[in-house]
């Protein structure tokens, strides 16, 4: 699944267009490498997203194409959520 779509369905970001822009501005990494909006993710990947002063790092536990609201919590495991001092 594409990273921009995964960020939207996992509800990390509200819109896919925002996820695409963050990736275009080099604010998204997958396993420590810069990600393009079309970069593919798989179970076990570690994703970092920086937006504004916040940074979020999480591990992908499950990939579902159309998760229900109750299933969203099962998709990712948050590893670090912090304020960025850049």
The rounded distance, in Å, linking the Cα atoms of 70 and 32 is 29
Q: For every one of its 86 residues, what pLDDT tens digit does the chain have, with 9 covering 90 and above?
A: 999 999 999 999 999 999 999 999 999 999 999 999 999 999 999 999 998 888 999 999 999 999 988 898 899 999 988 875 55
For the whole model, what pTM was predicted? 0.88
Query: Which pLDDT belongs to residue 84?
Result: 54
Domains present along the chain, CATH in parentheses: 3-83 (3.10.290.10)
SS3 for the chain is CEHHHHHHHCCCCCCHHHHHHHHHCCCEEECCEECCCCCECCCCCEEEEEECCEEEEEEECCCCCCCCHHHHHHCEEEEEEEECCC
Query: Which pLDDT belongs to residue 51?
Result: 86
């Amino acid at each position: 699944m594409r990273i921009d779509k995964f960020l939207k369905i996992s509800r990390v970001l509200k819109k896919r267009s925002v996820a695409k822009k963050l990736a275009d501005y080099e604010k998204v990494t997958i396993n420590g490498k810069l990600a393009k909006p079309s970069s593919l993710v798989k179970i076990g990947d570690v994703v970092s997203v920086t937006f504004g002063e916040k940074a979020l790092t999480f591990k992908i536990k499950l990939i579902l194409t159309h998760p229900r609201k109750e299933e969203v919590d099962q998709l990712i495991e948050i590893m670090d959520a912090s304020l960025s001092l850049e």
